[in-house]
Amino acid sequence: MKDGVGAKGKKVANTAMNDEAEEEKKKVTIYIMGKAYEVPAGLTIMKAVEYAGFQYIRGAGCRAGFCGACATVYRKKGDYKLYTALACQTAVEDGMYLTQLPFVPANKAKYDIEKIEVSPNTLIKFYPELVRCVSCNTCTKSCPQDLEVMYYIQAAIRGDIEKVAKLSFDCIQCGLCAIRCPAEIAHYHVAQLARRLYGKYMSPTPKHLLERIKEIESGKFDREMEEIMKMSIEKIKKMYAERDIEGATEARAKAEKD
Amino acid sequence: MVGGVGRKEDRKTAYDAGMMKIAYYPGCTLKTTARSFEKSVIASYRVLGIEYIELEKWTCCGTYFSLAKDDLVHHIASIRNLIRVKEAGYDRVVAPCSMCYNTLKMANEEVRNDEEKAYRINSFMDEEEDYRGDVEVLHPFDLLREVGMDRVRGAVKKPLEGLKVMPYYGCMLVRPEIAALGKGELPGIMEDLIKALGGVPVYTPYNIECCGSYHVVSNPDFVMARARDIAKKAVMEGAEVIITSCPLCHYNLDRMQLEAKRKWKDFKEIPAIYFSQLMAIAFGLGKKDIALDGNYVDPRPLFEAKGLV
Ligand code: SF4
Ligand code: SF4
Ligand code: FES
């Protein structure tokens, strides 16, 4: 995700918030499932749909560009392109023809991650349709996260699991790629399998984590925990506020001195 | 940068400076089952002063060139890869895998020669710059012609001492004419290479026979019989090793000989390796670059007995 926050279109929505009164006066016409509605310019698609009187029962979650629940497909007047977006992250435009996808059906392979054998063919074994990819790039064009979807699918075909895991890291499983792909691939499920395999079998083992787990299991922190459990809420809050954060204590001291 | 060396005189300067850079399209097999090909081809061409610069982004070439007249979507992959070559600042690309070479080159020629198809392909890929066929698709053999056999001879440290080698072209380097390495049925380039490395090329009627190609998936017995015939003829004519530039031919010839041996006890195997491995051997490169360890019919005893590796 860009800058660790939401996806495309977010900035439009934010500027609009700065000048709400001004924006309120400006209206745009959008078409929700074919019917025209006048909504304030600058709203996100999600807010505009609610403004028009609809209620989200499915197809909305985090409202912050993270959960991928709000997949949206639209066209603009006089434009042949079929656009895709996250409703919570994209500002309405005049003349948008909108439809929400509350659910994307996609084939998901069954596997037990503990028992999988990792080989260059693992992804193709679970998702043989991968080899149908014709490199049309439609998936990349439809991804609201701006991921290189086609290149991760191509890496999957070659069995380069690490590359799939890395290129797909920011996938929020909205399903827009899968609904557009002429090869009927379920990209995000393939990518998730790759990330699971990479995480479990391929990425370097964090030594410090293993050591810490051992320490915890051997009861090193048990007494401390017991003490905390007996403390009053106020005391715990105070301890939390004053806890030592790496670098922060020095920074605070330095700020006070200045 | 001496990357976009489309102009002859620029290329000459690049060669004279000792490093001619060229965009390199690996294709899927060189990154998976044909690692030995990739390692040896990059290393041996570096000796000749040619540096392969891998494209940062590439997809499968499409595997084969679709001959159906209206099947344009299968050319998209090839053309997009050629667009990536241009974006990387090159106007020539080398594709060592015979299949990739053939597919890319055929798609390139299609765009060059058919304006209407070029228009449709370009308008489908409306997110890319228009492509008109301005990249040159080369096989490593084209580069050998360019540097000349004198340079190859000059790089030899361990002459092959009369090793008898069957050059196996298969189909993709010689058919159809529009993608062929040379006019006529026998391009002769592998023969010239073998001689330059100190070996003796062995001619058999099977040098440009089809290996059975992807029938290995649906009809392995048929491919096994072809591998047996090709190997048998090579041995009969006195060849000690077969060289190829196609990962699929290589798989069929190498792996299927194993099956043939299982079926016909008196069948005599002959190792099949990539031409670039033979170059790496003669250039005296290290074991890692020669990469002889991945074969079903082990070529190492032959080269060890001759003191070449
Ligand atoms: S949309 Fe499907 S066929 Fe097209 S590039 Fe993506 S995965 Fe391949
Ligand atoms: S890769 Fe597909 S599922 Fe993941 S964020 Fe992009 S479009 Fe959505
Ligand atoms: S509601 Fe979660 S991404 Fe839009």
**pLDDT tens-place string over residues B155-212:** 999 999 999 999 999 999 999 988 899 877 788 999 999 999 999 999 999 999 999 9
HSE, side-chain direction, 13 A CA sphere, residue B3: 16
- Residue A71, helix vs strand vs coil: strand
CA dihedral B116, B118, B121, B127 (to 10 degrees): -120
The string of pLDDT tens digits covering residues B239-281 is 999 999 999 999 999 999 999 999 999 999 999 999 999 999 9
The string of pLDDT tens digits covering residues A141-172 is 999 999 999 999 999 999 999 999 999 999 99
Residue B66 pLDDT? 84
- Please indicate whether residue A210, judged by its CB atom, sits closer than 6 Å to ligand 1: no
- Please indicate whether residue A9, judged by its CB atom, sits closer than 6 Å to ligand 3: no
Task: Report how far apart, in Å, the C-alpha atoms of A228 and of each of A220, A222, A232, A241 are.
Answer: 14, 10, 8, 15
Task: Report how far apart, in Å, the C-alpha atoms of A197 and of each of A103, A118, A120 are.
Answer: 26, 7, 11
Q: Is the pLDDT of residue B140 over 50?
A: yes
Average pLDDT over chain B, rounded to whole? 93
Indicate which residue's Cα is closest to atom 8 of ligand 1. A133
Edge-first strand listing for the sheet containing B272-274: B200-201, B164-167, B241-244, B272-274
Q: CA-CA distance, B40 to B286, in Å (whole number)?
A: 10
Average pLDDT over residues B287-298: 96
- Nearest CA-CA distance, residue A95 and chain B, Å: 23
pTM score: 0.84
Say which residues have a Cβ less than 8 Å from residue B236's Cβ, sequence separation at least 6.
Answer: B204
Peptide bond into B176 cis (omega under 30): yes
Residue B2 pLDDT? 39
Ligand 3 centre and the CA of A62: distance in Å?
Answer: 5
Which residues contact ligand 2 via a Cβ below 6 A? A 68, 142-143, 145, 147, 149, 171-177, 187-188
Structure tokens at A69: 């629940």
- The structure tokens 């099977």 sit at B206
Q: Cβ contacts (< 8 Å) between A158 and chain B: which residues?
A: 28, 31-32, 60
Say whether B28 and A136 touch across the interface (CB within 8 A): no
Q: CA-CA distance, B259 to A76, in Å (whole number)?
A: 60
Residue type, B105: K
Element (H, E) at A76: strand A71-76
Indicate which residue's Cα is closest to atom 1 of ligand 3. A63
Outline where DSSP puts E strands in chain B.
20-24, 50-54, 92-94, 136-138, 164-167, 200-201, 241-244, 272-274
Phi, psi of B272 (to 5 degrees): -120, 130
Residue A6 pLDDT? 39
Residue type, A131: V
Residue B6 pLDDT? 57
Phi, psi of B167 (to 5 degrees): -80, 120
- Please indicate whether residue A135, judged by its CB atom, sits closer than 6 Å to ligand 1: yes
Helix, strand, coil proportions of chain B in percent (round to 5)?
Answer: 50, 10, 40
Q: Which among A118, A172, A175, A177 has a CA at the least distance from the CA of A153?
A: A177
User: Do B295 and B54 form a contact (C-beta atoms < 8 A)?
Assistant: no
Q: Which among B276, B265, B221, B219 has a CA at the least distance from the CA of B243?
A: B276
Q: Which residues of chain A have pLDDT under 50?
A: 1-13, 16
Q: CA-CA distance, B54 to B93, in Å (whole number)?
A: 10
Structure tokens at A46: 């999600």
Residue B30 pLDDT? 96
Task: Report how far apart, in Å, the C-alpha atoms of A73 and of each of A22, A175, A178 are.
Answer: 28, 11, 13
Ligand 1 centre and the CA of B120: distance in Å?
Answer: 18
Per-residue DSSP letter, B48: T
Q: Which of B32, B77, B125 sits opposite A159 (nearest CB)?
A: B32
Minimum CA–CA partner of A138 in chain B: B125
Q: CA-CA distance, B52 to B50, in Å (whole number)?
A: 7
Q: CA-CA distance, A186 to A139, in Å (whole number)?
A: 10
- Please indicate whether residue A60, judged by its CB atom, sits closer than 6 Å to ligand 3: yes
